[in-house]
């Protein structure tokens, strides 16, 4: 599925093409024959032009499950025929100060799947072997796809929020990432409070163990130790800060967000912290995939054929997806 010009998903911005050339893996890269690809809010931001797009046409998609089909020069980690996953991070420089200190997610030369490198809304995709992951056998191709971005970035957000086992955690928005994150938090014995508007999302949150559900404009029955916002809506930030105890942390899990409104200093005072969550590392991915199999995380999935990518994105935009949407190639 090709994006020739960004535009509203309601106008079917993606077009099906059979003319894309077969990508050839370069040094350190592997080529994966795509089986499934998860649909992510970042895909929506890309297709609608809310992210800077380095080139057109572009193939979106970065939650890829498939089998290794070819390996490039100097790529020795994977063998043809292995089932693997590819996520958002596709390649980094490996030499900068961020890469050297284990913060490859902040590499200024990072290249991302479905943005710089053609993504998984296609039959084949490329990635550097460092950002290709073994998948637990417990997950079939459909169930595994949402793990590869929503799950991993949710896990990183949990860690950066500083939530401890048994703590009170707020989740703002309840889609692909949050419905996995709540399962990890419950595995750690946390009380989880979910803020979401959609009635079906509220029901889903209760099914997965939320102790309370409501809207972001409502106050939960207790102050929270940590919060994670998944919705790209800046107005939620002051509300989420007001729900935190002194010393609490609000992690913002969003690559694109509407402006955060002016807020009184009293919402930050008391050593409350606001921090963004940017991308993830290969170590995050490998740790989360192991943990997801241990829990085990149950991904709720709506499956669409590749040709219906516009429909899946439109449903995602309007909060009509229960859990995650996955394209089957």
Rg over alpha carbons for the chain, rounded to the nearest Å, is 19
Mean pLDDT of the chain: 96
The separation between the first and the last C-alpha atoms of the chain, rounded to the nearest angstrom, is: 11
8 Å CB contact between 287 and 21: no
Sign of CA dihedral 132, 138, 140, 143: negative
Can you give the pLDDT at residue 291? 98
% the chain with pLDDT above 70: 100
Average pLDDT over residues 156-161: 98
| Each residue's pLDDT tens digit, 108-154 | 999 999 999 999 999 999 999 999 999 999 999 999 999 999 999 99
Sign of CA dihedral 144, 149, 154, 156: positive
8 Å CB contact between 312 and 304: yes
| Each residue's pLDDT tens digit, 91-106 | 999 999 999 999 999 9
Could you give the domains of the chain?
A: 2-148+296-328 (3.90.180.10), 151-276 (3.40.50.720)
pLDDT above 90 for 20: no
| Each residue's pLDDT tens digit, 51-90 | 999 999 999 999 999 999 999 999 999 999 999 999 999 9
Indicate the pLDDT class of residue 18, thresholds 50, 70 and 90.
confident
Taking every pair of Cα atoms in the chain, the longest distance, rounded to a whole number of angstroms, is 58
Can you give the pLDDT at residue 17? 86
Can you give the pLDDT at residue 19? 77
Beta strands in the chain (DSSP E): 2-3, 14-15, 29-39, 63-71, 83-86, 89-91, 111-112, 124-128, 132-134, 168-172, 191-195, 212-214, 224-229, 244-252, 273-276, 301-305, 324-328
| Each residue's pLDDT tens digit, 184-215 | 999 999 999 999 999 999 999 999 999 999 99
98: phi then psi, degrees, rounded to nearest 5:
-70, -45
Indicate the pLDDT class of residue 296, thresholds 50, 70 and 90.
very high
Average pLDDT over residues 226-236: 96
């Amino acid at each position: 599925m090709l994006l020739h010009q960004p535009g509203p998903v309601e106008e079917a911005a993606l077009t099906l093409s059979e003319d894309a050339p077969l990508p050839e893996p370069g040094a350190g890269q592997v080529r994966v024959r795509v089986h499934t690809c998860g649909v992510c809010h970042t895909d929506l931001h890309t297709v609608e032009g809310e992210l800077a797009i380095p080139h057109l046409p572009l193939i979106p998609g970065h939650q890829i499950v498939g089998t290794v089909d070819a390996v490039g020069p100097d790529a020795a980690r994977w063998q043809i025929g292995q089932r693997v996953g590819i996520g958002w991070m596709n390649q980094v420089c490996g030499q900068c100060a961020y890469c050297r200190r284990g913060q490859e997610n902040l590499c200024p030369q990072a290249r991302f799947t479905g943005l710089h490198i053609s993504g998984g809304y296609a039959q084949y995709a490329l990635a550097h072997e460092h950002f290709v992951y073994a998948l637990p056998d417990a997950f079939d191709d459909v169930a595994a796809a949402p793990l590869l971005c929503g799950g991993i970035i949710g896990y990183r957000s949990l860690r950066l929020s500083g939530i401890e086992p048994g703590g009170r955690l707020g989740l703002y928005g309840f889609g692909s990432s949050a419905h996995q994150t709540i399962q990890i938090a419950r595995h750690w014995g946390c009380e989880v409070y979910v803020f979401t508007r959609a009635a079906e999302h509220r029901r889903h949150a209760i099914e997965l163990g939320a102790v309370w559900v409501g809207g972001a404009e409502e106050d939960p029955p207790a102050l929270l130790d940590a919060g994670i916002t998944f919705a790209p809506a800046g107005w939620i930030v002051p509300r989420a800060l007001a729900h935190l105890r002194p010393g609490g942390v609000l992690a913002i899990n969003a690559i694109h967000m509407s402006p955060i409104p002016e807020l009184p200093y009293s919402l930050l005072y008391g050593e409350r912290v606001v921090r963004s969550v940017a991308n993830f590392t290969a170590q995050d991915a490998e740790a989360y995939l192991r943990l997801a199999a241990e829990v085990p995380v149950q991904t709720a999935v709506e499956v669409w054929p590749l040709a219906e990518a516009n429909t899946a994105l439109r449903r995602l935009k309007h909060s009509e997806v229960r859990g995650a949407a996955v394209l089957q190639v």
